[in-house]
Structure 1
Amino acid sequence: MILQWISSFPRFDGRWGIKLGLERMQALLARLGNPHRQLRFIHVAGTNGKGSTCAFLASIYQQAGYRVGRYTSPYIIHFFDRMSVNGVDVTEAQLSRYAEQLKPQIAAIRQTEIGEPTEFEVITLLAILFFLDQQVDVVVWETGLGGRLDATNVVTPLASVITNVGLDHQLHLGPTIEDIAREKAGIAKPGVPLFTAAEQPALNVILAKAAEVQAPAAILGADFSYRRKRYSLAGQTFDFESTDVRLNDLEIRMLGEHQCKNASLAVATALHLSQNGTLPVSEQALRSGLQLTRWPGRLEIVREQPLVLLDGAHNPHGTEALAAALDELLGDRKVLLVIGILQDKLVPGVLDPILPFAGRVIVTAPNSPRAADVNDVAMFVRDRVRVPIEQIPHVAEAVQRAVDSVQTEEAVLVTGSLYTISEARQFTSKKG
């Protein structure tokens, strides 16, 4: 029942006439007694890598002995995994209890000019009530869309993190990298340190905003850096260095060089908050936190024989990182590509980086009203690569077909959308 109630609120997808903004969140939080002001947050924005960076941070703090809340979106296995404490997801009963606190406040503002909150705003409010009730020491807090007007941007965090900026959600965030960077940079707060791995031209926009609000900024490649040393399908190691710290041979199980960047952002943030006494962490906690970090659907190996990888890359920046990782990890090994993509992502920049790796393609579609038609995707792929293409509408059946037909010299890669990855992961979990 709680999920039905949550889904009864309008989604911000351009069809409801809902405007992005913080007014509804601020009004509801005020009516609840501003519970967010009793919590400590690390706010993470960016086009890609938000979830992984949040996972690294949460793992580090959990290893340091803190009680850690983590808020991410979208979910991967089930709705409840988008908010957790020390890796334990919120329950249906808990959410129902917090909803009872929220319902009269929503009813009160519904009749005013503020109007109906969105589904994401309701989920974000429930998360705040959950973390307060759970008495967490820190919340690792991921933005939903953009930053400046995102529902999560009602908090004043201990630190802000912007992973990177690429082209995605242009309809809502603006058509250019600079426009999108301006929205992401909106999470910068006066006096709150900001850490970023963004590159030009986005970096100048972020630094300008940081200077405007007097937020000290630390940049990957200038104020801290990493040197990658070894990598394989088992994981990778890198050295981290900042102005006053050097850590050699940090290990992570996450695959792809982009994860070294995400891990370095987490390390830089955790070291700063440790050095200023806000959230002390030991070197051992930092090392073990990185090594123990897992994040579903990000170049995740779900089977080794045959090799089956899941990756939720769904925009040009993400698929370029995926392509670079495939190139170094698989070499000449051909990929049996299972693709399920959303209609608005069916553009050349999204699939083009990974199609050259495909020896065969199975086109499928996630269970979403936004899913691209399998015929359209097959036609799109056929225009770009001359390889055998099958069309199997349901993700589980497509994954089963791939596993049954994969050849010795091939690896299976399921990608195109986090919705596709969610269904594939549920299926592979059940099959063992």
Structure 2
Amino acid sequence: MTAIEWIHSFDRFDGRGGIKPGLERMQAMLERLGRPHEQLKFLHVAGTNGKGSTCSYLANILQHVGYQVGLYTSPYLTQFHDRMSVGGVNITDQELDQIVAELRPVVEEVAATEVGCPTEFEVLSVLSILHYARQEVDFVVWETGLGGRLDSTNVVTPLLSLITNVGLDHQAILGDTLEQIAAEKAGIIKPGVPVLTTAHGVALEVIKRTAAQNGSRCLTFGDDFASERSRFGWEGQTFDWRGFEGELSQLQIKMLGEHQTVNASLAVAACQALQELGYPIDEASVRAGLASTAWAGRFEVVAQDPLTVLDGAHNPEGAQALGAALRELLPQRKVVLIVGVMADKAIPEVLAPLVPLSAAVVVTRANMPRSAQVDQVAKMVKSLDSELPVLTAQSVAEAFRLAAQQAEELGCPLVCTGSLYMISEARALFFPN
């Protein structure tokens, strides 16, 4: 059994079973390993959307300064190793083998205790901590898997806590209301540790209240820092940033959609907060880090003929952001939409912002059990627009063949969106290993 096969042998979160809320198994493993997480400086990032992009901006800026940065994200879009990198270099098979050899007896020992067998994500989280400790990184940019309070990543006390937006997602686990979900996200806030957030409304009130209860400074988008775009187009965007210690004008990013300026703004604010904690970060590195950041599957242009965009808008807020970006960048034009979502998502709410922008829709599914049935999703599309041409495909490859025909006949760009697992399969069509 290879290292990756061993990791995949554990229970996975599948939206119904396989998840075991609580930190007991993480703590038990880390205790037996000598508490390696206490050697590391973490920047902990939670939220509904924008976590991966924010993490990528932040890690890239810090790397341009010259810091050695570990980046932990999920799920992967290209290959398994993507989720654990140091200095932009993914963990290798040899490094995985070595760490698994050390970790395996510890996992077996913990599994035999009253706390039970760890999940796959818990094993991955401990494995990554060991990797970053061995690499002696200066910072770990540490993305939550799901929620925050009981997420496997929440065993650390970070230098900063970052919370992106908060929306209705994973309600079966995190709660039915924004207040409940925000409380789970705010669970990453630690006593005295500053928190920065781009959340708003009732979610922001929950985060502010949690920060106050923990004696943590809370810096919010709109009040303590903000961004204002001055230019946008297919080549990228430019925005001005103001913060609690100054301003930066004409910052450039190549990621598309106004929501990306918000994610970038949060990363810049985190850098300013780190400077206040005594970690030097120069303006040139902020600019260079932002300008060079790319993140797969987030409004990613993968072909020009036809123009083809991949975007992992897997929940209502993500779909709204995608819809806004399409209206900006393709005004007065409609698209051929490929969509595939997980069965446990708020599917009508994901479809609603995108169906009015579509000239035709091809419904497909990722190759995994959690995927919604294509016929059911097709019916939901039809309920939103009974006149819209809707095709179905049982594989992502078949969906692209059908969509390419539609795009040629209608003269439309092609947009593929939904589950990140489906986006991963789509990327493999354009970037085979």
If the TM-score is normalised by the length of the shorter chain, which range does it land in?
over 0.9
> Equivalent residue for 1:361?
361
| In structure 1, C-alpha distance between the alignment counterparts of 2:18 and 2:429, rounded to whole Å | 36
1:321 and 2:309 are equivalent in the alignment:
no
Amino acid at match of 1:424: A
Amino acid at match of 1:421: I
| In structure 2, C-alpha distance between the alignment counterparts of 1:388 and 1:109, rounded to whole Å | 54
> Equivalent residue for 2:288?
288
Computed over aligned residues only, the root mean square deviation of the Cα atoms, in angstroms, reads 1.4
| In structure 1, C-alpha distance between the alignment counterparts of 2:376 and 2:348, rounded to whole Å | 13
Task: Tell me: CA distance 1:43–1:327, structure 2 relative to 1, closer, same or farther (3 Å).
Answer: same
| Aligned residues of 1:334 and 1:409 also touching (Cα < 8 A) | no
TM-score by length of structure 2 reads 0.97
CA displacement at 1:18 relative to structure 2 = 4.9
Gaps of 5+ in 2: none
> Equivalent residue for 2:147?
146
Amino acid at match of 1:314: H
> Equivalent residue for 1:370?
370
CA displacement at 1:265 relative to structure 2 = 0.3
* Most deviating of 403-412 and 39-48: 403-412
| In structure 2, C-alpha distance between the alignment counterparts of 1:110 and 1:346, rounded to whole Å | 35
CA displacement at 1:406 relative to structure 2 = 1.8
> Equivalent residue for 2:114?
113
1:165-184 C-alpha deviation (Å, 9 max, x unpaired): 00000111011000000000
* Most deviating of 92-101 and 39-48: 92-101
| In structure 2, C-alpha distance between the alignment counterparts of 1:346 and 1:140, rounded to whole Å | 29
1:393 and 2:394 are equivalent in the alignment:
yes
CA displacement at 1:118 relative to structure 2 = 0.7
> Equivalent residue for 2:417?
415
Instruction: Give 3-state SS (helix, strand or coil) of 1:376's partner.
Output: helix
| In structure 2, C-alpha distance between the alignment counterparts of 1:17 and 1:289, rounded to whole Å | 37
| Aligned residues of 2:341 and 2:347 also touching (Cα < 8 A) | no
Task: Tell me: CA distance 1:306–1:18, structure 2 relative to 1, closer, same or farther (3 Å).
Answer: closer
1:173 and 2:168 are equivalent in the alignment:
no
CA displacement at 1:384 relative to structure 2 = 1.3
CA displacement at 1:347 relative to structure 2 = 2.6
CA displacement at 1:276 relative to structure 2 = 2.9
Match of 1:428 among 419, 427, 430: 430
> Equivalent residue for 1:66?
67
Instruction: Give 3-state SS (helix, strand or coil) of 2:45's partner.
Output: strand
| Aligned residues of 2:245 and 2:272 also touching (Cα < 8 A) | no
1:390-417 C-alpha deviation (Å, 9 max, x unpaired): 2121102212332354237411000011
Within 5 Å, give how 1:20-419 maps onto structure 2: 20-277=21-278, 279-345=279-345, 347-385=347-385, 386-407=387-408, 409-419=411-421
| Aligned residues of 2:70 and 2:139 also touching (Cα < 8 A) | yes
| Aligned residues of 2:12 and 2:18 also touching (Cα < 8 A) | no
| In structure 2, C-alpha distance between the alignment counterparts of 1:184 and 1:151, rounded to whole Å | 13
| Aligned residues of 1:302 and 1:308 also touching (Cα < 8 A) | yes
| Aligned residues of 1:148 and 1:184 also touching (Cα < 8 A) | yes
CA displacement at 1:357 relative to structure 2 = 0.5
Amino acid at match of 2:418: G
| In structure 2, C-alpha distance between the alignment counterparts of 1:88 and 1:405, rounded to whole Å | 39
Amino acid at match of 2:122: E
Gaps of 5+ in 1: none
Instruction: Give 3-state SS (helix, strand or coil) of 2:34's partner.
Output: coil
1:95-146 C-alpha deviation (Å, 9 max, x unpaired): 1211111111112222211110111000101110111111111110000010
CA displacement at 1:230 relative to structure 2 = 0.7
Task: Tell me: CA distance 1:15–1:164, structure 2 relative to 1, closer, same or farther (3 Å).
Answer: closer
Amino acid at match of 1:414: C
| Aligned residues of 2:178 and 2:203 also touching (Cα < 8 A) | yes
| Aligned residues of 2:336 and 2:406 also touching (Cα < 8 A) | no
> Equivalent residue for 1:4?
5
CA displacement at 1:16 relative to structure 2 = 4.3
How many residue pairs are counted as aligned between the two chains? Answer: 430
Instruction: Give 3-state SS (helix, strand or coil) of 2:191's partner.
Output: coil
Amino acid at match of 2:86: V
The alignment-based identity, stated in percent, is 53
| In structure 2, C-alpha distance between the alignment counterparts of 1:207 and 1:333, rounded to whole Å | 41
